Amino acid sequence: MSPPYSLLFLIGYRGSGKSIVARLLAERLGWKWCDADVVLEARHGRNVRQIFADEGEAGFRDKEALLLEELCKLQHHVIATGGGVILRPENRQRLRDSGQVVWLTADAQTLWRRLEEDATTGERRPVLTVGGLTEIEELLRVREPWYRACAHKMVNTTGRSAADVVDAIFAILPERGAWAP
CB of 180 to ligand S3P, least distance (A): 26
Q: Which of 7, 8, 9, 14 binds ligand S3P (CB under 6 A)?
A: 14
Should residue 125 be labelled a site residue for ligand S3P when binding is judged by CB under 6 A?
A: yes
Should residue 59 be labelled a site residue for ligand S3P when binding is judged by CB under 6 A?
A: no
Pick the stretch among 82-90, 92-100, 101-109, 161-169 that binds ligand S3P (CB under 6 A).
82-90
Quote the CA–CA distance of 26 and 168 in Å, as a whole number: 14
Sign of CA dihedral 22, 150, 111, 172: negative
What's the CA angle centered on 175, arms 170 and 179, to 5 degrees? Answer: 95
State the DSSP code for 13.
S
CB-based contact 63:85 (threshold 8 Å): no
Quote the CA–CA distance of 20 and 76 in Å, as a whole number: 17
Q: Which of 23, 24, 34, 83 binds ligand S3P (CB under 6 A)?
A: 83
Should residue 61 be labelled a site residue for ligand S3P when binding is judged by CB under 6 A?
A: no
Binding site for ligand S3P (CB under 6 A): 14, 37, 48, 82-84, 125-126, 128
